[in-house]
Amino acid sequence: MTVRWDLLLIPSFLFTFILLSVSQTLFLEGSFYKDLGLGRTGDTLDLVNYVRVFTDGFYLTTLWITVKVSALATICTLVFSFPVAYVIARMRSSWGMILLSGIVVSTFITIVIKVFGIIIIFSADGWLNQFLMSTGITTEPYSIIGTQEGVVIGLMYFTLGFGVLTLYSVVQTIPTSLEEAAEIHGASRPRMFRRVILPLAMPGLVAGGLMVFNMCMGAFTSAALLGGGKVFTLPVLIQRTIMMEVKYSMAGTLAAVLLVAVILINVLSIILIRRMHFARGVLA
């Protein structure tokens, strides 16, 4: 008798599907009605919210800021996490596992605590500003609160552990024999990185990068705490629209725009990477 292990997927699939589809459908459907105040919505289908979002500079700017800080945070996360992932993946001693465990444990820490740690480090009387001022690098304390740079740092901190873990598994798929072969043939470390490691890691980097980007696009806490009420990303604006204005339709519209933007960026990125890959193949 054949055991149908695939049937085990059904409960989790149904659970996820119901939770996701019901909540998203409610918001998506609501986005096509006009807000009448105090959580009430009109009863005729209306595109007024979408028209407003796509014709109002404020919402377009907010969407642009969300994409910008997410993209920057993604690039920073990849730049910082790849070397760490590479070194850990190539470690032969037990230190590799210890460091990896440390990174896993760091992902258990709630983002609120992580962000407050950043706020303390960058506070006017914090050690970083004291160091910068005592060494004459700056004359005034540098604050990241209420700046887009601060939000990027917060998002990067939020996704760094995830980035290292993802790229660790990517690096592990690259055989060390290829690096050794390149080295034997006289390739320098930078050349080997450029011609061997990077091309082989590229699909994983793209996939990991997109996952990090998606996480950043939906991240609320870092943007809310480090943005200091001065940097609006779409998740922050959605929260304000629901909690303060109780405009469920507009919040649904913004959530739909965010979702579609994320899907579009992902699809376009994959198409772009494939074309680049294809062009490179033709040139080679």
Partner 1 sequence: MSMKSMTRLTTGLAVAGIVSALALPAAADGKFDGVTLRVATFGGSWKESLDATITPKFEALGGKIEYVTGSPQANLAKLIAGRGRAPFDVMEILDAQVPDFAATDFLAKIDLSKVPNTKYLADFQYNDMMVASWNTQETICYDKDKFAELGVARPTTYSDLAIPALEGRISIPDITSGGGLANFGGFAYAAGGDEVNVEPGIELIKSLKALKFWSRGGETITQFGSGDIYAAVVHAGWCVRAKNAGYPVTSVHPVINDKIKGVAKEGWLGVMKSSEHKEAAVWFINEYVGSDFQYRAATKNGVMPVNQEVIARLGEDPVLSEMLELDPAMIAKALRVDYSKVDTSDWIDQWNRMVSTQ
Binding site for partner 1 (CB under 8 A): 37-39, 58, 61-62, 119-120, 123-126, 141, 143, 145-146, 224, 228-230, 232, 237, 240, 242-247
Question: Shortest approach of partner 1 to residue 170 CB, angstroms?
Answer: 38
Question: Shortest approach of partner 1 to residue 38 CB, angstroms?
Answer: 6
Task: Determine the Cα–Cα distance for residues 233 and 223; give it in Å rounded to an integer.
Answer: 7
Question: Shortest approach of partner 1 to residue 1 CB, angstroms?
Answer: 50
CB nearer to partner 1: pick between 66 and 70 = 66
> How many residues are listed for the chain in this entry?
284
CB nearer to partner 1: pick between 51 and 124 = 124
Q: Which DSSP string corresponds to 16-72?
A: HHHHHHHHHHHHHHHTTS-EEETTEE-SS---HHHHHHHH-HHHHHHHHHHHHHHHH
Question: Shortest approach of partner 1 to residue 71 CB, angstroms?
Answer: 19
Element (H, E) at 151: helix 148-172
Question: Shortest approach of partner 1 to residue 146 CB, angstroms?
Answer: 5
Task: Determine the Cα–Cα distance for residues 152 and 141; give it in Å rounded to an integer.
Answer: 19
Question: Shortest approach of partner 1 to residue 228 CB, angstroms?
Answer: 4
Q: What is the largest CA-CA distance in the chain?
A: 77
Q: How far lies 94's CA from each of 90, 98, 103, 174, in Å?
A: 11, 6, 15, 20
CB nearer to partner 1: pick between 66 and 81 = 66
Task: Determine the Cα–Cα distance for residues 69 and 66; give it in Å rounded to an integer.
Answer: 6
CB nearer to partner 1: pick between 96 and 228 = 228
Tokens representing residue 279 in the block: 């062009």
CB nearer to partner 1: pick between 149 and 245 = 245
CB nearer to partner 1: pick between 17 and 64 = 64
